[in-house]
A and B are shown apart, each in its own frame.
Chain A
Amino acid sequence: MNKVIIRVKDLRKTYKTYKRGESFKDTVKSLFARQSINLDALKGISFEIEKGELLGFLGPNGAGKSTTLKILTGILYPTSGDVYAMGYVPWKDRKRYVTNIGAVFGQKSQLLWDIPPADAFYMNRSIYGIAQKTFKNTLNDMTDLLDVGDHIHRPTRQLSLGERMKCEFIMAMLHRPSIVFLDEPTIGLDILSREKIRQFILEMNKSGVTFILTTHDLSDIEHLAKRVIIVNHGDIVFDNSLDDLRRHTGNIKLIRLSSHDEIGDIQIRGVEVTENLSKYNVEMILDTTQTGLNEFVRQIGIQFRLSDLIIEEPPIEDMIKELYLDREAESKK
């Protein structure tokens, strides 16, 4: 049953940029001889995605996430390596390949600003050559699922961000793609729209659509993905289930602390202060294997007159650091 839908092998991407001087002299010089700099965005990554998976792509900015996504959608040529997606090489068979995929870019709208989404849908219908009946059915299903019935007939510029993003999803999926790429799809959304969109993704995934999701918002991954790939500096640093990721990094917490008094040194084992926001405000990371959360809260309560205490999941950068540390620790054993 489980069929590989995308196979990526040893994918490399090197960008060549040119040094650019500021002064007039540099400008003139650069006309004749330009100094090139090679930037490795992807350093030979390999992975496979099976049909019906819901895969999360995580990584800090500039890690290679969007480069991978662009190559997988056929927008970008890689420097070397192979990609087979549904039997196509994305950048070579672009036109045929893209009829099978959909994409939602949180930052790049496919809708048309001054006209209602419905008209943009019609345009996509003709671009993809969707039969009238199929189109109607799909549109009805999706507007129901996303709860956007009337909004699609209002000009896009009058819609709220949430309504607009729901329409972006419809736009991307009208042609019933087998693979859908989502790039930061919930960025800036309110909780209700976010919830609705997540339900929609899960629903579509159940019906067999493969989703590949890039984000730097952990909560998206937690609610959606079963498998997670983390990239950093152009390499895959983690590729396993979400549960496994939790085992590695569930032990660290991000803590923000505010006190009525000045905060001096914090003498608790496993605490690392990451930022002094002010004399009364500190951000830190706690390793709960060294000091348990209970113990931490108790000690903190003794040391400071708290005005606020926030405990949350750490940002990706800290998780990656933790992953590296874990690996080192394991290899020493």
Chain B
Amino acid sequence: MIAENQFIRGVKAHFQAIKAALAGRMAYRGDFLLSTIIMLMAEMFAPAITFLIYSNGASFPGWGIYEVLLIQSIFMMARGIAFPFFFGMVWNTLSRVREGTLDILLIKPLGLVHLIIMTAFDCNDIGKLFGGVLLFAISMKHLPFPGFMQWVQFLLLFILSLVMLFAFALIMSALAIVWVGNSRIFEMFSAVTSFSQYPLSIFSKPIQTFITVIIPLGLLGFFPASVLLGKYSPQITAAIVSSIFFLIASFWFFKKMVRQYTSTGG
């Protein structure tokens, strides 16, 4: 009966799940449109502050307005990809644990992480991606166009920013398994990642070390932007290495929490 191999089966199932989620969401088109716009507006918080600061004649020392907006647009784009495609796993886990339906995923023949992600596609957040791309384009228009190698480096760092978000999603899902019903983990996430949206240099030295070496939050916006701007910072290598460790740690944490769930039944 099981003719296809595991991988193809997984991809097909994922595709089917996204289709189902889209169909479900379209049942409330009006609310969908409104939510998309709101999500986008809420995302504009940091750019709006930046704009107000510069329009009042002040600045982040050493940074032009479009350079700062570039950081923030990259942050938005990364979230714009992460949120619809895999970040929904956090909310999915949270509500499944609360309703006791996480069990249903455990009786399906695919990996748990995969199942949680594929049943969580959320197109509401696609607005973040559009907003991010738009802001990125506007900022780029006012900045010198980067060379080919800069683009390549940017792309690699951007992928790492998605890796970071994936690791965050895993950690948060794991927390959602043991910390039943606590939707405030999203607030913790926004608080932590608010460091990523501003030039690294505004923070004190200990914090700079923390967000490059310990949890490389700088990758979520600052580092990818800095290579496009030609502002290389020496901490970048440390951040890259650390992001890989962060990913491994998040997998380990997730596995541990799932193990705990399956030994207590939630």
The answer to whether B2 has its CB under 8 Å from any CB of chain A is yes
What DSSP secondary structure best describes chain B's contact surface?
A: helix
CB–CB B13/A127 < 8 A? yes
Candidates B19, B25, B262; contact of A119 at CB < 8 Å: B19
The answer to whether A296 has its CB under 8 Å from any CB of chain B is no
The answer to whether A105 has its CB under 8 Å from any CB of chain B is yes
The answer to whether A108 has its CB under 8 Å from any CB of chain B is yes
| With A95-B109, A122-B20, A129-B4 already in contact, 8 other A-B pairs whose C-beta atoms are closer than 8 Å | A67-B265, A73-B107, A75-B103, A103-B107, A112-B20, A113-B24, A114-B25, A115-B27
CB–CB B24/A70 < 8 A? no
Q: Which of B101, B108, B111, B262 has the most CB of A within 10 A?
A: B108
CB–CB B23/A115 < 8 A? yes
Candidates B1, B24, B28, B106; contact of A74 at CB < 8 Å: B106
A110 CB contacts on chain B under 8 angstroms: 104
B134 to chain A, nearest CB (A): 30
By beta carbon, the residue of chain A nearest B114 is A127
CB–CB B109/A128 < 8 A? yes
A274 to chain B, nearest CB (A): 32
CB–CB B24/A114 < 8 A? yes
CB–CB B12/A109 < 8 A? no
A-B contact count (CB 8 A): 101
The answer to whether B15 has its CB under 8 Å from any CB of chain A is yes
A122 CB contacts on chain B under 8 angstroms: 16, 20
List A87-134 residues whose CB lies under 8 Å from chain B.
91, 94-96, 98-99, 101, 103, 105, 107-110, 112-115, 119-120, 122-131, 134
Q: Quick one: CB contact mask for B1-22 with A, threshold 8 Å, 1 for yes? A: 1111000010011011101100
By beta carbon, the residue of chain A nearest B3 is A131
A137 to chain B, nearest CB (A): 12
A221 to chain B, nearest CB (A): 23
Subset of 9 A-B contacts with CB under 8 Å:
A75-B107, A77-B259, A91-B262, A98-B106, A108-B99, A115-B23, A122-B20, A129-B9, A129-B12
**What is the interface residue range for chain A against chain B?**
35 or more
The answer to whether B64 has its CB under 8 Å from any CB of chain A is no
B111 CB contacts on chain A under 8 angstroms: 95
A16 CB contacts on chain B under 8 angstroms: 264
The answer to whether A4 has its CB under 8 Å from any CB of chain B is no
A234 to chain B, nearest CB (A): 14
CB–CB A176/B1 < 8 A? yes
A236 to chain B, nearest CB (A): 20
B-side interface residues, number (CB < 8 Å): 34
Question: In the complex, A120→B118 CA distance in Å?
Answer: 13
B115 CB contacts on chain A under 8 angstroms: 127
A101 CB contacts on chain B under 8 angstroms: 107
Q: Quick one: CB contact mask for B73-116 with A, threshold 8 Å, 1 for yes? A: 00000000000000000000000000111011011111100010
Candidates B19, B100, B103, B108; contact of A127 at CB < 8 Å: B108
Candidates A76, A96, A131; contact of B1 at CB < 8 Å: A131
B210 to chain A, nearest CB (A): 25
A170 to chain B, nearest CB (A): 15
User: Knowing A119-B19, A123-B17, A176-B1 touch, does A76 contact B262 (C-beta < 8 A)?
Assistant: yes
List A267-289 residues whose CB lies under 8 Å from chain B.
none
A115 CB contacts on chain B under 8 angstroms: 20, 23-24, 27
Which residues of A come within 8 Å of B, CB atoms? 15-16, 67, 70, 73-77, 91, 94-96, 98-99, 101, 103, 105, 107-110, 112-115, 119-120, 122-131, 134, 155, 175-176
User: Knowing A123-B16, A130-B1, A155-B27 touch, does A76 contact B108 (C-beta < 8 A)?
Assistant: no
User: Knowing A74-B106, A75-B265, A108-B104 touch, does A99 contact B2 (C-beta < 8 A)?
Assistant: yes
By beta carbon, the residue of chain B nearest A94 is B106
CB–CB B263/A76 < 8 A? yes
CB–CB A114/B27 < 8 A? yes
CB–CB B109/A127 < 8 A? yes
B147 to chain A, nearest CB (A): 44
User: Knowing A119-B20, A119-B23, A129-B2 touch, does A74 contact B107 (C-beta < 8 A)?
Assistant: yes
Q: Quick one: CB contact mask for B24-38 with A, threshold 8 Å, 1 for yes? A: 110110000000000
A223 to chain B, nearest CB (A): 25
Pairs of residues from A and B, 3 with the lowest C-beta to C-beta distance, nearest first: A114-B24, A126-B13, A129-B9
B265 CB contacts on chain A under 8 angstroms: 15, 67, 70, 75-76
